[in-house]
Each structure stands twice: as C-alpha cells, then as structure tokens.
Amino acid sequence: MDTPSLMLVEPPELADETASEMLDFLYQLVNAFENQYRNQLQRHHQSTELPQPDLFEDFDDELPSF
C-alpha cells in the first residue's frame, strides 16, 4: 500500500520555543495514543507481519565440541 506523505503547505513561522513545545506536545499525543490502543496496534502489526523463515530448519550437522 502506497500512502501519500504528509506535507505542510505554507506552514506558519514559529519561534524556536514554540516549535519545541509543539514537538513535545506531538510526542505526548502519540505516546497517549499508543498507550490507549496498544493491544489493537499489536494485533494489527502481528496480523500483517510476514512469516520469518526458520534459519536452522535444515541444519542437521553436529555442533563441534570445544
């Protein structure tokens, strides 16, 4: 799925402190969102993961003793 990028068209000028405070707010918002919907997010990610191959499936050699 190709989702378009979020772009700010003509973003307002912000003071350095304001930009920093907005970034802190956005991090807190994302953190609260993840905490609220953690189980649903995990279920979704697990259901969309590709199966990982077993790298040792055909490995029958004896391990050397040291």
pLDDT tens per residue, range 22-66: 999 999 999 999 999 999 999 998 888 887 777 777 777 777 788
| Band (1; pLDDT cuts 50, 70, 90) | low
**Residue 64 falls within a domain, yes or no?**
no
Between these two residues, 5 and 54, which has the higher pLDDT value? 5
Would residue 35 count as lying in a domain?
yes
Domain extent for 27: 16-42
- Residue 30 inside a domain? The answer is yes
* Residue 49: count of CB within 10 angstroms of its CB: 8
Q: Report d(CA 55, CA 52) in Å as an integer.
A: 9
> Would residue 2 count as lying in a domain?
no
Whether 51 is in a domain gets the answer no
Q: Is the dihedral of CA 22, 28, 31, 36 positive or negative?
A: negative
Domains in the chain: how many in total?
A: 1
